Structure 1
Amino acid sequence: METTATIRGEIVTFLQNRSMTINQFARISGINSGTLSNILNGHRPMSMHQLDRITDGMGLEEGYFYDLYIPECIFHTTPDWRRLGPFLLRCAELGKLGCLHRAARMTLENISYAPMLFDMAEALFNEDKHEAAALLYESVAECEKFQYSERLALCQYRLFVIGLGENQDENLQAAVYFEPYIDRLDDMYQLDAYVKLINVNISLQRWDKIVALGKRMGHKAKIHYQQNRYRFRTYEYPRKSVIFYILYSYLIQASMHQEQGDYDNAFYYVSLYEHPDWINKPNEEELLIIEQFKDWAEANRYMYGLMSGQPNALNQYVDYVDSREDEIFLALCNIMIAANRYQLHIDHILDRYKEHLVFKTQQNQLGKISDLVTLNRYTRLLAELGIYYLNSKQFDRGLAYILDSLEYSIRTKSDNGMLRCMGIFEQFRHFSSEETQRRYTELIQDVQKLSVYAWSPQV
């Protein structure tokens, strides 16, 4: 049912019901009585500051009149950014996202407001008000969808970053949708965007896509380095020195060859990021990056040796990471895979590093590791631990880890993870206790709910 109520009408009714004069309410609200009179008589538009004072004076919750404010004070008068801008900010602060979205969409009937809406979205994004920022980015992107503009590309990049979460299906859709826009981004954002796309695809184990993106990133970074090698960085992006992206592209290609069992080429690419002699007069930041990649190169040499079955590589690898706290979790992930591949006995290693067998945010010298990548690694680690203990005939312990991995796979909606865990459990079901079977049944019900949701008709 539509309402014909107005803010002015509500104020008048409030005053009448309380037999209150304009002067009395002016004292309560802190608004000049002449200004208040002009507002009530429709001779003066109401600012956001005045609206909030009036709302407070009437004893109503903050934002009570925002739905009415949009048509009454923004769009039924001459549009004015001095009123609209503060209104959008207040909506973001109070979480009134429906009002914010409605006002933004109506605003873009005049496309000249697009730059101002974009700037506000950037401000909200930088304040971590991501839901509000996303609504503004979507509105600006819709306005510019037929234009080949950097602003459109940056809107799509921000929406991609905001939309990333634990759901692998949604992350894949976000990555596929964003990728065509990446080359439209300004150079200072483009390299960081490549890293984020690569991280999403690492969590999804899409190796062909990972390598393709890594090569493109490396190529662009090399061009950027050659063109700017003697300049000082004076802007916020990319977040790391350009040499990081070149070396990271080599690391990605080394990892791809290792995944394929091609260790000769894997070691070749390790040498490229281990000894980057082409870097000209590295500054302090670049020296830190060089040192980190040199450390990774040493660790990966041990890891590749372990994965290829070299007998002494396990002890060398463990000795190496023992004094490097940031490397232990990843090392355990790799060691578990090798242990199951070559039937290695590693109880002493698991006992030594048992505090690292829990999910937590990972970091290295260069910053925080993507949570998407860490979550994927941890889910795989749980499965490998389960397989290890099942092979050791510790069935209760092994199946508990398999179900932990299944739970994380459901949480991330990883089809591969769910299928892997269900297949292993069914293989060892006859060794499971009633309690373990009950937990498995409950998790399978969660899997079935995901399947029903995936196949339900969309309207």
Structure 2
Amino acid sequence: MSHTTTILAELIKYMTEHDLNISDLARKAKMNPGTVSSLINGNRKFSVYQLDRITEAMGHPVGYYYERYIPECLADASPNWRRMSPFLENCAKLNKLDCIHQVVNMLLDKLGYADPLFQLAEQLFQEKLYEAAAILYENVALSENKQHSERLAICQYRLFQSRQGDDQERSYEAAVQFETYVNRLDEIDQLDALKDLVNTYRTLRKWEKVDKFAIALRNLAEVQMKSERKHQNVDEDILKNQGSPPTFAYWAFSHLLQAEVCYVKKDYEQALKHNYAYSDLSWVKETDESSLRWKHQYETWAKANIYVNKLMSGEVSVIPDYIAYFSSKKEEILPGLDNIIDAANQYTINVDDILMQFEPEILSLLEEQESGGVYNQQFITERLTHFTKQLAVYYLHKNVFSKGFRFLLSCLEKSTAINNKSYILECVKLFESFRENASSETQAAYRNLISEVQVDVHEE
């Protein structure tokens, strides 16, 4: 939509129609009469703060004139950052992303603005205004050159973080794009970046990538631990990252990840070796609260994962002890049940009594899950999708078709929501194998879900 009148012209028209003089308008907008006079007479340009006050006084919502504000007040040969910065902040809060694009495009060929744009992007990122921050990071990255490789890497890291979500295809593309930049980060930041990167690949079940970056994470952690032993005094980098886990936690996490890779490959013996590697952290000498908490956490995880790998290698006798471990830990119930049903399908174990015991928890899990504790939303969503698929396999092969198809349709619905084509394909194959046992209602529900999948694929 194009506008033939300026903001100032509309303001003067408003004053005329409502019989307001400058003092009246100033009082209504809660502004200084001298300032209003300068604006009306064209002696000064609106600041975004002044524009917001005037806009509200005219009865319009804040942001009403923002599209016109850009060419009228910001499009100077020498851009005024003091005027642009608060405008960009307001646009971010109002989700006026097109306005942000327009302003940033005006600065693309002006390298001196890379630093303030980067600082503002960091501020917006901390305020969780990720879409707005991503626009700034993208443009800072375009303007960077080799001597600013660390800042370029930070921009790419933030873009990777902001693009993580339910759409697994988008998450994967963002991870692949970030891979080449992770080594350019400061070594302290690299630990968190590698952890985030490998967590994404773990969620997406890209196990070769998980293995690769788990090794990189452990190598970097070992270098950092050696450096910390040599320099016992707290330095600025450590102070900067007080909120991050201690370095040994990254080392332990790398072993946990490689154990998971071995688990997927059904190499349970090698998985146990990795589990045992981080099960005993008595060599860690730090006694601060964070270190003690992480030591306990990894020792607890190791105990659970040792149960799991023994179970998956065929030691069914560990099931009671494993259930005793996770039944009192709310956030471990989903992974625990998922592992048990996985083993049941692999070794044809009857776990009906266990599923009956945890029926209230299973029904609760089928509702919308929120992240909490040590597991992020991506992990929970993916694990729940895998769990519903395994339940479908279990019940369909036991000829309990009502439950089997219920979980199969649930898995298909969740797979479609997160755009996981691998799970969608598995659901389709499973349904076709048991189609003749599906009721007419089930077949109708299946067709509706499949039509949604086809629409999504067509739109891509």
TM-score, normalised by the number of residues in structure 1: 0.93
Aligned to 1:140: 140
- Residue 414 of structure 1 corresponds to which residue in structure 2? 420
Q: Quick check: 1:361–1:371 contact (8 Å CA) kept in 2?
A: yes
Structure 2 gaps, min length 5: none
**1:32 maps to 2:32:** yes
Q: 2:122 matched to 1:122?
A: yes
Change (3 A) 1:403 1:231: farther
| Structure 2 CA distance for partners of 1:440 and 1:104, relative to 1, 3 Å | same
SS of the residue 1:5 aligns to:
coil
Q: SS of the residue aligned with 1:157?
A: helix
**Does the 8 Å CA contact 2:334/2:383 hold for their aligned counterparts?**
no
1:457 corresponds in structure 2 to: none
Q: Report the Cα distance in structure 2 between the residues aligned to 1:43 and 1:316, rounded to whole angstroms.
A: 80
Q: Which residue of 1 aligns with 2:90?
A: 90
Alignment of 1:361 onto 2:370: yes
Checking the alignment, whether the CA contact within 8 Å between 1:409 and 1:417 is kept in structure 2 is yes
| CA distance in 2: counterparts of 1:362 and 1:14, whole angstroms | 50
Is contact 1:168-1:412 (8 Å) kept? yes
1:320-331 correspondence to structure 2 within 5 Å: 320-331=325-336
C-alpha distance in 2 between matches for 1:68 and 1:147: 37
The equivalent position to 1:401 in structure 2, one of 407, 423, 426, is 407
Structure-1 residue corresponding to 2:343: 338
Residue in structure 2 matched with residue 426 of structure 1 by the alignment? 432
How many Å separate the matches in 1 of 2:246 and 2:418?
32
Q: TM-score, normalised by structure 2?
A: 0.92
In 2 relative to 1, CA 413–280 (structure 1 residues): closer, same or farther, beyond 3 Å? same
Letter in 1 for 2:70: I
Q: Percent identity among equivalent residues? A: 37
298, 304, 311: which one pairs with 1:293?
298
Equivalent position amino acid for 1:325 in 2: K
Per-residue CA distance 1:86-105 (angstroms, 9 max, x = gap): 11112122222221221122
Q: Is the 8 A contact 1:361 1:369 kept in 2?
A: no
232-241 vs 299-308, which moves further: 232-241
Give the letter aligned to residue 239 of structure 1.
S
Aligned partner of 1:76 in structure 2 is: 76
| 1:278 Cα deviation after fit | 3.4
1:450 shift after superposition: 2.4
Residue number among 245, 256, 269 corresponding to 1:251 in the alignment: 256
The one-letter code of the counterpart of 2:458 is V
- The worse-fitting range, judged by mean Cα deviation, of 233-242 and 267-276 is 233-242
On the 8 A contact 1:361/1:368 being kept in 2, the answer is: no
Alignment RMSD:
2.0
What's 2:62 paired with? 62
Q: What CA distance in whole angstroms lies between the structure 1 residues aligned with 2:450 and 2:69?
A: 49
Contact preservation (8 Å) 2:201, 2:209:
yes
Distance 1:234 1:354 in 2: 47
The DSSP-based 3-state class of the residue aligned with 1:280 is coil
* Structure-2 separation of matches of 1:30 and 1:291: 58
Moved more, 239-248 or 445-454: 445-454
Q: Aligned AA for 2:393?
A: I
| Structure 1 runs not aligned, ≥5 long | 455-459
User: What amino acid sits opposite 1:182 in the alignment?
Assistant: V
- Stretch deviating more after TM superposition (367-376 or 71-80): 71-80
2:275 is equivalent to residue 270 of structure 1: yes
Deviation at 1:362, TM superposition (A): 5.2
SS of 2:31's equivalent in the other structure is coil
Over residues 380-408 of structure 1, what are the superposed CA-to-partner deviations in whole Å (9 max), with x where a residue is unaligned? 11111111111221111111111111111
Deviations 1:233-278 (A, max 9, x none): 4123662111111000011112222222222222211121011343
Amino acid at match of 2:188: M
Partner of 1:448: 454
Q: Contact conserved, 1:250 with 1:269, CA < 8 A, in 2?
A: yes
Equivalenced residue count is 451
Q: CA deviation at 1:3?
A: 4.0
